[in-house]
Amino acid sequence: MDTATLILQIFTILISITSMVIAVSSEFRENRKKNYIGIVTKQRIINKDCIRNYSQILLQNTHIAILPHATVKNLEDCVGAVSGIEVVFKNIYSQEKTFIDKANSLVGALSDYLNDKTDITLQNLLQNRNEFYKIYSIYDLSDWRFIKAQSIGKEIDSEDFDRIYENTEKTFNEKQ
């Protein structure tokens, strides 16, 4: 075997090893990215389900059909639901703070109604319920759009959520 053939074989081996290292490294990075996105997406879905359940409790206990029969138990259920929302959401994000504030306003309006069952407190409660439902709907749809975008492998962050939320909110406001 002459030197040129030996050098060519060594060169070929080095290229093969380099290609293999690059492929393994690239696959490792890609799997790491997919695992990260999978974990984050799964947690967002869990949070989304929690918020949906808590919101359902708020809307159920302030529904016009239940109000003539509403008691302190309904108020307690709503306070529990708001507390659950506060555990999942963070006040540092403006959309989540607005959501928490609307939920608290709804509970306050229910408390006012239970203490003074007048047309004024009823109208205030129903207005707060409609505002909460709107905020819930905007957030829920925005969150779902964010989850869909993230689940296809895009690394997206809170600024992307803000953009999605703004577009969703604009759509809701145009249709009303």
In tens, the pLDDT along 124-143 reads: 999 999 999 999 999 999 99
Question: How far is C-alpha 149 from the chain's CA centre?
Answer: 12
In tens, the pLDDT along 157-175 reads: 889 999 999 999 999 888 7
In tens, the pLDDT along 101-118 reads: 999 999 999 999 999 999
Least confident of 9-23, 28-42, 150-164: 28-42
In tens, the pLDDT along 44-94 reads: 999 999 999 999 999 999 999 999 999 999 999 999 999 999 999 999 999
Query: Average pLDDT, whole number, for the chain?
Result: 90
